[in-house]
Structure 1
Amino acid sequence: MEIIDGKLISAQVKAELQIEVDKIRLAGGKIPHLAAVLIGDNGASETYVASKIKSCEQIGFKSTLIRRDSTSTEAEVLEIIDQLNKDEDIDGFIVQLPLPAHINVDKVIEAIDPKKDVDGFHPINIGRMAKGLPAYISATPFGVLELIKRYKIETAGKHCVVVGRSQIVGLPMSILMQRNTYPGNCTVTLVHSRTQNLKEVCLQADILVAALGKPEFITADMVKDGAVVIDVGLTRVVDESKKSGFALKGDVKFDDVAPKTSFITPVPGGVGLMTVAALMHNTLLASKNEIYK
């Protein structure tokens, strides 16, 4: 069993991006510029956005944070997006999710210019990805692919089971793993909360991607010997033994499952760190016009 070190790989990706930015600066080119829109005071969102801004500083990107309180109207958020779409200095931007309940998430995402949609959530980017065209790939699935690639995990001809069907992770992951490329060329099964024989399907997986959002849902009796297990889940659970009062848990019951695997990602320290690195990668692509030429 080998633990897939997301901290190590994300640091490698950021270092590579920093080298590219240094070359751009020396050549007098345009420095990549990422903007983030944060609506409300969700604690997890505050943490995520702060890590993205910090990563920009580390790599050498410009960054802009636009904050509004939770009483902001949908129209006000759409106006911010319109301004960012028109700002020629902004290469890419994100609207941090979740949004307050009174704001239509789909309307917000669809208002983002696909050329600046570095989160890869816009229907045009999802559609282009599905067709195998150049597109911004959602940051978490992109991060998973990068981990698989850098650990040289074989995927061709393997049975990949993706647990969870969200448009942010599960759905794009299922599409990406069956593409005629590496990583890819898998036979893919997508299961979810309504799948009746979920355990039996999971036991068939050579590569199991857990993205259900239910802490420690995947147990040892759902994983076959030698499987590769990628844990995308990240949930705060109450833990009075911790100073913070909570612990971070993945969708996989790590201690029980790990001994059965060939490779496994930990939580924390696995996929989550790669998500930010992948967002930085997409921002560099946007600044160089490498997707929409």
Structure 2
Amino acid sequence: MNIFNGREKATALDAKILEYLSDGPVAGELAIILIGDNEASEKYISLKKKYCDSKGIKCGVHRIDARLKDEDIFKKVFDVMSGPDTAGGIIQLPLPRPSLDPCLRLIPAEKDIDAISPFSMEAFYAGRPHKILPVVRAMELFISETTPKTQSPLKAVVIGEGYLVGKPAAQYLKSKNYQVTVINDYQTGQKIDADLLVLSAGIPNLVRG
């Protein structure tokens, strides 16, 4: 059984990033927007900022009070994303309420680091992505190194159909002619018959074997 080694791939990617940065610092700032208070989001943002700092990439965290009216929040997000000093932007998910989903439309395509705006996602599902989604890049690396060449369609199972991982992973695999089954109500102990298994439920030790 082959398991995707994210730490190993991250080390290789680090080397490529350092090579890219050897020509000089990146102009502008990576702007990360956090709306409201979310402990898990704070941890993710801390890791992102720490990584940027270690590479000499300017990173700014912009916190917005979730108690503000939606219209006021949209204005603040727009001001950050459209700012001349913002080279790339991230809106940390999850958002505190569904009515704030339009915030994602305020990320300009050329600044959409995570490729999560509706424009980026629509282009991806239409088969004309202008950026590679992080989960898709990871799957490309894994499949190219571990999947045997065969004329028969391979079977893939995706557990969890979330916006950032599960759903785009399933779409990518279908585009590569996999027979894809998506499971949203998996229970530990349930048997899985697959050539490729993608876990995106966010539950440790959900699948064993």
Q: TM-score, normalised by structure 2?
A: 0.83
How far, CA to CA, are the matches of 1:49 and 1:77 in structure 2?
19
Q: 1:16 maps to which residue?
A: 16
How far, CA to CA, are the matches of 1:120 and 1:172 in structure 2?
11
Residue 25 of structure 2 is aligned to residue 33 of structure 1: no
How far, CA to CA, are the matches of 1:133 and 1:97 in structure 2?
24
Q: 2:69 maps to which residue?
A: 73
Cα drift, residue 218 of structure 1? 5.2
The 3-state SS of whatever aligns with 1:65 is: strand
Is the contact made by 1:165 and 1:190 (CA closer than 8 Å) also made in structure 2?
A: yes
How far, CA to CA, are the matches of 1:41 and 1:4 in structure 2?
32
The 3-state SS of whatever aligns with 1:7 is: helix
How far, CA to CA, are the matches of 1:48 and 1:154 in structure 2?
35
Is the contact made by 1:39 and 1:72 (CA closer than 8 Å) also made in structure 2?
A: no
Is the contact made by 2:31 and 2:81 (CA closer than 8 Å) also made in structure 1?
A: no
Q: 2:197 maps to which residue?
A: 229
Q: 1:189 maps to which residue?
A: 181
Decide whether aligned partners of structure 1 residues 228 and 178 sit closer, same or farther in structure 2, where only a CA change above 3 A counts.
closer
Q: Which has the higher contact order (CA 8 A, sep 6+)?
A: 1
Deviations 1:160-180 (A, max 9, x none): 22233333222211211122x
Decide whether aligned partners of structure 1 residues 72 and 154 sit closer, same or farther in structure 2, where only a CA change above 3 A counts.
farther
Decide whether aligned partners of structure 1 residues 160 and 22 sit closer, same or farther in structure 2, where only a CA change above 3 A counts.
same
Decide whether aligned partners of structure 1 residues 162 and 231 sit closer, same or farther in structure 2, where only a CA change above 3 A counts.
closer
The 3-state SS of whatever aligns with 2:93 is: coil
How far, CA to CA, are the matches of 1:218 and 1:10 in structure 2?
31
Which ranges in structure 2 are unaligned for 5 or more consecutive residues?
none
Aligned length: 207
How far, CA to CA, are the matches of 1:163 and 1:3 in structure 2?
16
Q: In the alignment, residue 177 of structure 1 is paired with which amino acid?
A: L
How far, CA to CA, are the matches of 2:187 and 2:17 in structure 1?
34
Residue 99 of structure 2 is aligned to residue 104 of structure 1: yes
The 3-state SS of whatever aligns with 1:92 is: strand
Q: 2:87 maps to which residue?
A: 91
Q: 1:60 maps to which residue?
A: 56
The 3-state SS of whatever aligns with 1:10 is: helix
The 3-state SS of whatever aligns with 1:118 is: coil
The 3-state SS of whatever aligns with 2:59 is: strand
Decide whether aligned partners of structure 1 residues 228 and 177 sit closer, same or farther in structure 2, where only a CA change above 3 A counts.
closer
Which ranges in structure 1 are unaligned for 5 or more consecutive residues?
194-216, 236-248, 259-293
Q: 2:154 maps to which residue?
A: 158
Decide whether aligned partners of structure 1 residues 131 and 155 sit closer, same or farther in structure 2, where only a CA change above 3 A counts.
farther
How far, CA to CA, are the matches of 1:67 and 1:21 in structure 2?
28
Backbone CA RMSD of aligned residues: 2.7
Deviations 1:40-70 (A, max 9, x none): 2211000011111112122332211112333
Is the contact made by 2:159 and 2:198 (CA closer than 8 Å) also made in structure 1?
A: no
Q: In the alignment, residue 124 of structure 1 is paired with which amino acid?
A: F
Decide whether aligned partners of structure 1 residues 12 and 220 sit closer, same or farther in structure 2, where only a CA change above 3 A counts.
farther
Residue 153 of structure 2 is aligned to residue 170 of structure 1: no
Is the contact made by 1:18 and 1:60 (CA closer than 8 Å) also made in structure 2?
A: no
